[in-house]
Amino acid sequence: MDVSQYDPELRRAAALMGLVTPRSARSHRLQVRLANAVSATGRAMRPTPAHKDLGGGVEQLQRWLPRRDGGRTRALVVRRQRGGAPSAAVLWVHGGGYAVGSPEMSVGTARRLVDATGCVVVLPDYRLSVVEPYPAALHDCYDALVWLRDHAAGLGARDDQLVVGGESAGGGLTAATCLLARERGDVAVAFQVPLYPMIDDRPTPSSTGSTAPVWSSATNDAGWDAYLGPLCGSASVPATAAPARAEDLRGLPPVLTFVGDAEPFHDEVVAWTERLREAGVRVESRVYPGCFHAFDLMAPRARVSRVATAFLVEGFTRWCAELSAPQPR
């Protein structure tokens, strides 16, 4: 890994993250097992409270949402303690290569969106690929979206302004959830915010031979292998598993996104946004030079990270003022 290719303010983070980024599928699987074991132990020792004051008039609630298989999905709800006029109802999906992570990872992003617009953000703790491969995570996210549609008013939000967003694998699940919503026709999404989404299981120039920090070719291949399970390598992988495979992109919700040009997902995201525009979908996207995967989260104080975060918050705020989608009745 040559750190000189990265933005100067990201080079230190790139060097540090490069030390812990797996270099093979085997080491990725070991890291995933360790990360999930640590997460489970931490949660057992310090359970998430049912209510938490985040300060500044914002609260975090824990809820349990019904799943189609009869189980329940844990979710966090981040919102203002004293509600004003109803605003957007946001389903925000955490990243982690479909294999690790929890909604707690995205509370900071949720807080920024709540502070900016007064929206209500629901963060689902979907089933990870190491527990159950596709379509478990997608079903959990879609069921959470249906729950949010039905409970938006009770949460202090608008059911005609549902938004789906997330980072990395959460961005992939965002795109897949919106594809499924279009296919089923029972939930209307006002717009989607898939940040540097993981959407293509097929190799691209940027996802081949990458030794980038945080997410590389080795981790990407291992991540898709775990998520797709027996479908991996098949020509029949559905678009709701790998959204870049969708042939028809017409009628999808507007897309707000960004990606770095020095990460594996660059080419698939750029190609996908170009195809969305050609299909008549509104897209606002940015490509940030010299940026590796999830740079905004790994080095939030870097100037380029602050610019990307400002792009997200400004675009989200503007679209909340402009866009809505009444629910089908």
The answer to whether residues 293 and 212 touch, using CB atoms and an 8 Å cutoff, is yes
Which amino acid belongs to residue 189?
Answer: V
What pLDDT is stored for residue 233 in this prediction?
Answer: 85
Of the listed ranges 18-22, 41-45, 193-197, 247-251, the one predicted with least confidence: 41-45
Of all residues in the chain, what percent carry a pLDDT higher than 90? 95
Tell me the C-alpha distance between 47 and 54, whole Å. 16
In 3D, which of 201, 205, 184, 83 has the Cα closest to residue 139?
184
- Other residues' Cβ atoms within 10 Å of the Cβ of residue 284: 17
How does pLDDT run across 206-243, given as a tens digit for each residue?
A: 999 999 999 999 999 999 999 999 999 888 999 999 99
The answer to whether residues 15 and 8 touch, using CB atoms and an 8 Å cutoff, is no
In 3D, which of 140, 108, 102 has the Cα closest to residue 121?
108
Cis, peptide link before residue 328, omega less than 30° from 0: no
Q: What's the Cα-to-Cα distance from 82 to each of 50, 122, 149, rounded to whole Å?
A: 18, 17, 21
pTM above 0.95, yes or no: yes
What pLDDT is stored for residue 15 in this prediction?
Answer: 97
Q: Is the pLDDT of residue 272 over 80?
A: yes
Q: Is the pLDDT of residue 1 over 70?
A: no
What pLDDT is stored for residue 235 in this prediction?
Answer: 85
Three-class secondary structure assignment of the chain? CCHHHCCHHHHHHHHHHHHHCCCCHHHHHHHHHHHHHHHHHHHHHCCCCCEEEEECCEEEEEEEEECCCCCEEEEEEEEECCCCCCEEEEEEECCCCCCCCCHHHHHHHHHHHHHHHCCEEEEECCCCCCCCCCCHHHHHHHHHHHHHHHHHHHHCEEEEEEEEEEECHHHHHHHHHHHHHHHHCCCCCCEEEEECCCCCCCCCCCCCCCCCCCCCHHHHHHHHHHHHHHHCCCCCCCCCCCHHHCCCCCCCCCEEEEEECCCCCHHHHHHHHHHHHHCCCCEEEEEECCCCCCHHHHCCCCHHHHHHHHHHHHHHHHHHHHCCCCCCC
Mean predicted confidence (pLDDT) in 132-151: 98
Tell me the C-alpha distance between 180 and 186, whole Å. 10
Scan for tokens 């390598």, then name that residue.
233
Tokens of 39: 């997460």
Mean predicted confidence (pLDDT) in 35-42: 92
Mean predicted confidence (pLDDT) in 297-320: 98
What pLDDT is stored for residue 176 in this prediction?
Answer: 99
The answer to whether residues 129 and 135 touch, using CB atoms and an 8 Å cutoff, is no
Q: Is the pLDDT of residue 83 over 80?
A: no
Q: Is the pLDDT of residue 27 over 70?
A: yes
Of the listed ranges 75-84, 100-109, 181-190, 252-261, the one predicted with least confidence: 75-84
Scan for tokens 């909604």, then name that residue.
103
At what angle are helices 136-155 and 169-184 packed, to 10 degrees? 80
Mean predicted confidence (pLDDT) in 50-79: 97
What pLDDT is stored for residue 78 in this prediction?
Answer: 98
Which amino acid belongs to residue 8?
Answer: P
Q: For residue 298, what are the contacts with CB-CB under 8 A and spacing of at least 6?
A: 13, 17, 213, 214, 292
